[in-house]
Structure 1
Amino acid sequence: MAKPKKAAPQARQEMTGLQRLSLRVSSMINHPIAQSQRWVTIHRLDTDGEMEWEEVMGLLSETPELDLTFNDDESVTVRWEPQSADERDDLIIEKDWEEDRAEEAKPF
């Protein structure tokens, strides 16, 4: 009787520094307390590389709904105004439309 072949273990993919920082910042902004107060202060960690920090802060500063304050201790305070239900719906519809367009652009 033949033994069934074991599936080859999948290689674990490590997150890049940019991915880790992006995930941390996103989690901080989306945290319920930050959402209720509509601001959060993001501190740069020793593990955050210069390029990664500049990339993420650049993306945040390009987001028109966010107001960034760069503090003396290298932290950044991110503030935003509450959105009306219509504005949230518009963003969701726009995001869905962009995802649909991206799917259509894929040849396979």
Structure 2
Amino acid sequence: MKEANQYETAVGRGVSGIERLGLRVSNMINHPVAQIQRWVTIHRLDSDGDREWDEVMGVLTETDGIDMTFNDDGSVTLRWEACAEEDRPVEVFERAEEPAPF
């Protein structure tokens, strides 16, 4: 998985806490299951500092199209609507019935 490798590489090379948290949140939002269901719950890890957590949550709060719910357990649930391109109707081509051969 490309996203997991980016995160593992970032952790291994000693990136800042905010970069690591931002990468983790981005990977969670972009995960195929999250994209289908259009929501994801982000849990704060022990390694997420107060400053980093507050900064990333602030960026998400300011992002248009994302609804945030701060849960009692400290997690945050993000919800979003489908983009206009995702809302387009699916075109279905029906096969014309062939006349009976007799």
Unpaired runs of 5+ residues, structure 2, are 1-11, 87-102
Alignment partner, residue 104 of structure 1? none
**Aligned equivalents of 2:50, 2:64: Cα separation in 1:** 23
Does structure 1 residue 41 correspond to structure 2 residue 51?
no
* Percent identity (aligned): 63
TM-score (ref. length: structure 1): 0.66
Report the alpha carbon displacement of residue 47 of structure 1 after superposing the two structures with TM.
Answer: 0.3
**Aligned equivalents of 1:36, 1:30: Cα separation in 2:** 10
Equivalent residues in 2 for 1:79-90, closer than 5 Å = 79-85=79-85
**Is the partner of 2:63 in helix, strand or coil?**
coil
Equivalent residues in 2 for 1:20-99, closer than 5 Å = 20-85=20-85
Report the alpha carbon displacement of residue 85 of structure 1 after superposing the two structures with TM.
Answer: 1.6
**Aligned equivalents of 1:80, 1:66: Cα separation in 2:** 5
CA deviation vs aligned residue, 1:34-63 (integer Å, no higher than 9, x gap): 000000000000000000000000000100
* Coordinate RMSD, CA, aligned: 1.5
TM-score (ref. length: structure 2): 0.70
**Is the partner of 1:67 in helix, strand or coil?**
strand
**Aligned equivalents of 2:83, 2:14: Cα separation in 1:** 36
**Is the partner of 2:26 in helix, strand or coil?**
helix
Unpaired runs of 5+ residues, structure 1, are 1-11, 87-108
